[in-house]
Amino acid sequence: MLIFTLRRLNLFIFTLIVLTALSFSLSFLFPGDALINLTGQVNATPEQRLLLIEEYKFNSNIFQQYWAYLSHLFDGDLGVSIASHLPISSEIMNLLPATIELSVVALIIAMVVGIPLGFIAAVNHEKFADNTILFVSMLGYSIPIFWLGLLAILIFSIELGWLPSAGRLSLVYEIEPITGIQFFDILMSNSEYKWQAFQDATLHIIMPACVVAMAPMTTFIRLARTSMMEVLESSYIKAAKAKGLTFWQIIHRHAIRNALVNVIRYVGLRFANLVTLAMVTEVIFSWPGIGRWLIESIFQRDYTAIQGGLLALSSFIFIVHILSDFIYAALNPLAREHNHGA
C-alpha cells in the first residue's frame, strides 16, 4: 500500500506540474499581451506594469517566469478577472462548490440507479429485461444533453409546474455561505426556515442532477452488466452453486460484492465526462457553477478566468480520480500489487 501511495503521489505531482505548465503557456497562446492574460491587470499604469514585470519575472528567462507563476499560485494568487476585476481565486471558491455539489449528486443518482439496473440486466442475460435495459441505455447514451435539459424544463417546469427551472435556491431564503456546499450551509445555519430551505434546495437540484446523471448512468449500466456477467462465469460462483446455495444467495453473498469492486474502478475515469455534462447543464439551468462562468468568460475574453478555471476544475477531477483509485485499491488487494505506470 505504501508503494501504491507513493506512486499515486508521484502521479499527482506530475499532473500538477503539467497542468500548471499548460495553464502558464496558455497566457502566451491566448490573443493579446501575455502579462495581461496572466495577471488580468488590464488598466495597469506604466509604473504598476513595471512592478508586475518585476513580480512575475517577465524580464528574465521562461523558467524563472514559470517559477514566479508557480509561487504566485502557491500563495493562492491566480490574478484578477479581466471582466469583473475580482480575484479569480475568490470567484472560484464561490463557484466551484456549486459544481461539486451538482456533479456529486449526479454521480450518486447515476450509481444508485445505474448499477442495480446493470445487475438486473446481467442476471436476465438476453431476456426481455436485459434487452429493454440495453435499449434504454442506448437511448440515454445518445441523447444530446442540452436537448434533454430543455425538454425536462418544458415538461416538469412549464407544463406540470413541479420543479423550478433555474438557480440553486429560491431568493426568499437567506443562507450564509460557509462551506459553499448548499446543503451543508443550510444545515449549519440557524435560520427558522431551515427545513423549508432544505426542501427548496432539493427541488432545485433534482432536475439538473438527473439530466447530468443520464449519460453516466448508462455507462454504469454497461459496466455493472459486463462485470456481473464476468463474475457469474467465474469458478467460485460454480463452487457456490455446487454447494447448493440458491440463486439469490449466490447473487447476494458472492456476486454483487465482487462485481461492485470492478465498477468502482471506473468511477474516477468517468468523472471527467460527468463534469463536461455538468458544464453544459449549468448553462441551461442557470446553475451558478464554474462551467457557466467559464463559458461566459469566452464571450468576455476573460483569459485569466479561463486559465484559473481550467486549473481548478482539472485538479478537482484529478483528485476525484486518485481518490477512486485509492478506494478501489483498498477494496481490491489484487490492484495494489502490479500496477506499473498507471
Residues that bind another protein (CB under 8 A): 11, 14-15, 18-19, 26, 29-31, 138-139, 141-147, 150-151, 154, 158, 272-273, 275-276, 279-280, 283, 294-295, 297-299, 303, 306, 309-310, 313-314, 317-318, 321, 341-342
- Least distance (Å) between residue 191 CB and another protein: 35
Distances (CA, A) of 235 to 230, 238, 262: 10, 5, 17
- Least distance (Å) between residue 187 CB and another protein: 30
- Least distance (Å) between residue 136 CB and another protein: 12
- Least distance (Å) between residue 68 CB and another protein: 22
Residue 20 or 249: which CB sits closer to another protein? 20
- Least distance (Å) between residue 73 CB and another protein: 16
Distances (CA, A) of 172 to 17, 189, 197, 273: 44, 15, 9, 34
Residue 161 or 244: which CB sits closer to another protein? 161
Residue 65 or 307: which CB sits closer to another protein? 307
Task: Identify the sign of the CA torsion 225, 227, 233, 238.
Answer: negative
DSSP 268-292: HHHHHHHHHHHHHHHHHTT--SHHH
- Least distance (Å) between residue 208 CB and another protein: 16
Residue 244 or 341: which CB sits closer to another protein? 341
Alpha carbons 231 and 257: distance in angstroms, whole number: 10
Q: Are 199 and 214 in contact (CB under 8 A)?
A: no
Residue 254 in grid coordinates = 458472492
Residue 113's DSSP bridge partners are none
Distances (CA, A) of 232 to 80, 110, 122, 259, 313: 56, 23, 9, 9, 38
- Least distance (Å) between residue 112 CB and another protein: 23
Residue 105: which of 274, 263, 323, 223 has the closest Cα?
Answer: 274
- Strands annotated E in the chain: none
Sequence-ordered list of residues with C-beta below 8 angstroms from that of 83, at least 6 positions apart, any chain: 297, 300, 301, 302, 305
Task: Give the DSSP letter of residue 339.
Answer: -
- Least distance (Å) between residue 137 CB and another protein: 10
Residue 92: which of 313, 320, 284 has the closest Cα?
Answer: 313
Residue 162 or 247: which CB sits closer to another protein? 162
Residue 208 or 260: which CB sits closer to another protein? 208
Residue 218 or 262: which CB sits closer to another protein? 218
Residue 81 or 297: which CB sits closer to another protein? 297
Residue 109 or 145: which CB sits closer to another protein? 145
Angle between helices 128-142 and 194-232 (to 10 degrees): 120
The SS3 of residue 75 is coil
- Least distance (Å) between residue 269 CB and another protein: 8
